[in-house]
Structures are given as structure tokens and as C-alpha cells.
Amino acid sequence: MNNGTDATPARSSRGLNILILSFVLIGSLLLSACDLGGSSPTPSSGAQNPPANTAAPGNSSGNSGSIDFNGGGATAGTGGNSTGGTTGGTSSGSGGNGIGTGATAPPVAISGKMAAMIPINGTDPSQQPIVQMVQRVGPGVVTVVNSLNPSVTGGQAAEARGSGAIIDQQGHIVTNNHVVEGEQQLVVIFADGKKQQAKLIGADPDHDLALLQVSGQMPAVIPIGNSDQLLPGEVVVAIGSALGEFVNTVTVGVVSGLHRNLDEGNGVTIQNLIQTDAAINHGNSGGPLLNLNGELIGINTLGVTSAGQGDIAQGLGFAIPASSVTSVVSAIMKSGGNGGNPGAVASTRPYLGVTIVPVTPQIASYYNLTDPNGQLLQQGALVEQVAAGSPAQQAGLQPGDVIVALDNNQVTADTPLGDILTQYQAGQQVTLTIIRQGRQGTTKLTLGTRPPGQ
């Protein structure tokens, strides 16, 4: 039965061929899977663009006084901020390949370390951008020691500590007004531990800013940047003497919000603040808030840890924007700070005599603040109170009026009324453009000198 004996090798041969073919097929499938992993996905033709963002919506009475209303006409200038731009590039991940839709880029070695979500090339810490920036401008941050006048402390010896930023080679240092209030003597401690007595050139309590000066060669100068270009989410760095003791403490965060207003008490409301989650502790007051270029884009003024009803806040810090710093410093230098005598304090803002709230679309919607064309106002300063006997009252201003311009300067979120007033001196005559119940008018007044205690 030769046929029976020949059948066995034939079946074995066919089984071997099938096994080999199976390995070939499995290998092909694996290669296909690898090819699919590197291919670029094709967007679905049915994909829809996200809907466009819609803007959020944003009463007074009385006679017109000396205000000349035109009953209509041109609307006070309004403006809006537009943001644009695209982001792109190749995304990388640890142990994986990025998928790109453009030309293939050469491979880039990126370590797994991240600093405030910034990819770091290489493993040398000294090459990290924040480290390099801090090394460059850190020596320009100082500790300010205020030996308080015994008349302020009830005869007790006491001192307050804060921070400051050197802004030029002439030794000018910007800090907070509340750091130098009640001073008897001011001493600056540099990052290397050297000390020097400082002179108070002038201060503006309304902006919580003060300008000091020291002599000699400056270890570093921090350039002033453009705070008007800041964007929410932008990485920022705060440097200062935390708790007055931990010199040149570096904290990193982002811009959490813009154009914030905060009531500091004693009738002082600071406008147009930068909100950040970079840690700001006692002693950080007066220190710089920096962008990644090492430019001063704000002066740290306070951190909020709690609010009413026992609410606990975290990562809630505020800084005075560089735009306000520039205008206040310029005004102080121009006025000479009451002659530049040590201990002199000069408010750079002349007296108008109003308590205001910045107009936002929400405020405008709530109070139905409209322009002569019936459109909701987008900006301006809503008058809440008018002080008796003040220049504002004499000019006929009333609660509920909206100041939209001072001379040719429009009141906006980036240029609030307080910043505009730093360009003027007491005794100057100005023209206010206001809107009252949808009617636009103008009035002239002479700026006054702030009464004592206000």
C-alpha cells in the first residue's frame, strides 16, 4: 500500500507551508501596523468649526449743572481688544512620536523636565530659560527695610520689610507705597548682602507706588516691559524677599486675569491690576513681576488669602501693571518728589473728588449705561460718589455719570482715569467728557490738591 505511505510526507509538507505562510502574514500585519502609526490622519470632511464666541452683555437723574450736553452726536470713543494668532509646530512626548501635518522636521532631543510647562532642551539646569533670566535680572531685586517713625508706632522701635526693583543705572528703585509709609529711615539690601541708605524721592498712595534712589554702581537693571501686551495664561515670574527674610525668592505662575480692581481700604481702590497665581507673600510687596524676557511687567502689591464668610483663597496675587509704573515714575521724577528731600511723600494724582468704578460690559448692562446711539458702553469710569466741595461737584458731576474722556485722553481699561490724572498737576484746567442717561456732554474744571487724610 504505497499510496498510504506516500500520503504522510505530503501532508507534512503542506502543514509546513501553511505554518510558513502564517508567519509571513503575521509579519506583514505587524509591518502595516507600524506604517499606520506614522501616517497622518485625514481630517473628516464633516468636521465643523467651533461656534464663534459671543460677547457677554455688560440710572441716574439730576440737572445738568454746568455741563454742556449736546443731546447726541458722536459717541465717545470706545475700543476693544482683539486677540489672534495661531499656534502650531510639532508636539513631542516621552517615548512617543509626534504626529505632524506639515513637512517632516529633524528630530529634537527634549528631556522630560518641564518648567512652568516650557519644554527644556538638554539636561543642564543652567540652560533653562527661567534660570538664565533670574540669573540675569535677579541682582536688580532688592530688600527694602523701613525703620518706622516712633510717632507712627506709639514710641516703639519697629521696622517693615518689602522688596524693590532697580530700574536704571541712576539708582532709582520702584517699590510699594505701603512699604515706605511712616518711614524714619530707609535702607536697601542688595542681593549680595551689601546695604545702603536710600532716599525717598516720592510716592503715589493712589497707585501704591513709591520711588527711591541709592548711589553707586548698580549690580543690575530691570527693563520695564509692555504690560498692555500681556495675555491670560502667559508665564510670569515673581522675585522678592518673602516674609522679609527669604531674599530673592523666585516663584513661577501665569497671568490669571487682567484689569482687576481691588479695594485696599481708606478710600483707595487700585485699578487695572494684573492677577497672577505666582506666590506673593508678605515681603514680596514692591518686587517685580517679570515676563520670560526678564522685563518688569508689574510691581507685586499683595496676595489675597481669604475673603468674606471664611472663604480661603489660593494662588490669588496682584501686581500693579508696568503701564501705571511708567506714568507714576515719570510724574514723580518730573515733580521732584517735593524737592526730593528724604522722607518727602508726593501724591502724583491731582484731586478730582469722585469715587469711581471702571465700566465693563457687565456693569453697563446692569445699570443700562448707553451712549448717544443707544449702544451699551464698553469703557469709562462710572461715578459712584462726588465729594462735597470738590472740583467735580463744582463742575456739576453727579453719581451715575460716566467719565469717558479727560481732554483728549479716552478712559479705557488699559488707561484708567487714575493713570491719566498722573499726567496733570493741581491747578490745571481740564475738560471732562461725560455721559449721563445716554446724553453726552462736556464740562471744564480746575484740578485741586488732595485734602489731608484723603
Identify whether 407 is a catalytic site residue.
no
Identify whether 192 is a catalytic site residue.
no
Query: Whole-angstrom distance between the N-terminal and C-terminal Cα of the chain?
Result: 123
Q: Give CA–CA dist 132/408, Å, rounded.
A: 43
**How many Cα atoms within 13 Å fall on the side-chain side of residue 17?**
6
Identify whether 215 is a catalytic site residue.
no
Q: Give CA–CA dist 23/286, Å, rounded.
A: 72
User: CB–CB of 362/374 below 8 Å?
Assistant: no
- Specify which residues 337 forms β-bridges with: none
3-state secondary structure the chain: CHHHHHHHHHHHHHHHHHHHHHHHHHHHHHHHHHHHHHCCCCCCCCCCCCCCCCCCCCCCCCCCCCCEECCCCCCCCCCCCCCCCCCCCCCCECCECCCCCCCCCCCCCEEEEEECCEEEECCCHHHCHHHHHHHHHHHHEEEEEEEECHHHHCCCCCEEEEEEEECCCCCEEEECHHHHCCEEEEEEECCCCCEEEEEEEEEECCCCEEEEECCCCCCCCCCECCHHHCCCCCEEEEEEEECCCEEEEEEEEEEEEEEEEEEEECCEEEEEEEEECCCCCCCCCCCEEECCCCCEEEEEEEECCECHHHCECCCCEEEEEHHHHHHHHHHHHHHHHHHCCCCCCCCCCCECCEEEEECCHHHHHHHCCECCCCCECCCCEEEEEECCCCHHHHCCCCCCCEEEEECCEECCCCCCHHHHHCCCCCCCEEEEEEEECCEEEEEEEECECCCCCC
Q: Of 172, 178, 227, 256, which is the active-site residue?
A: 178
Q: Of 204, 208, 277, 419, which is the active-site residue?
A: 208
Q: Of 241, 256, 285, 324, which is the active-site residue?
A: 285
Q: Give CA–CA dist 179/161, Å, rounded.
A: 7
> What amino acid positions are annotated as catalytic residues?
178, 208, 285
